[in-house]
Amino acid sequence: MSTEFYRQGYFMSQQEENAAIGAMVKELKEEQTRLSGLQGQARSIGHHLANFGKLLSDPAWSFWVEESYIQGSSMDGRPMAVASLQSLDKERILALIKDLAETREKIRTLKEGLKEAGL
């Protein structure tokens, strides 16, 4: 004899409910892992930007960076902060911000669903 439960507009058996909850828990763990990776990428970008900011706050390096940019030089011998900053892409950063927001929203939604299920 299977016990039926009414959930979100339709009936489901205990097995179906358990499977749905299990899938939600698995997806939550995957999204939390994804969020951790995205946060690592964001920290790395922040580190590059912070180093570049420190460089620009040093008058000697700031002048050199500005002059190199104005003259269009390749900035050979440039400090690591400048070299690493050049690898950053505005579109990549914007996509990362979007991914972070979407992943956090998925996690929030999954946690709400699990709370509604009594977990």
At 61-102, the pLDDT tens digits run 766 666 655 554 455 555 555 656 666 788 889 999 999 999
pLDDT of residue 80: 56
Question: For residue range 27-69, what is the model confidence (pLDDT) as tens digits?
Answer: 999 999 999 999 999 999 898 888 777 777 777 776 666 665 5
Q: Which pTM does this prediction carry?
A: 0.69
pLDDT of residue 107: 97
For residue 24, pLDDT beyond 70: yes
**Cα distance between residue 113 and residue 5, in whole Å:** 16
Cα-only R_g, the chain: 24
Closest Cα to residue 52, out of 29, 70, 69, 31? 69
pLDDT of residue 108: 97
pLDDT of residue 102: 97
- DSSP class per residue in the chain: ---EEEETTEEEEHHHHHHHHHHHHHHHHHHHHHHHHHHHHHHHHHHHHHHHHHHHHSHHHHHHHHHHHHHT---TT--HHHHHHHT--HHHHHHHHHHHHHHHHHHHHHHHHHHHTT-
Residues 78, 85 contacting (CB under 8 angstroms): no
Q: Over pLDDT 90: what percentage of the chain? A: 35
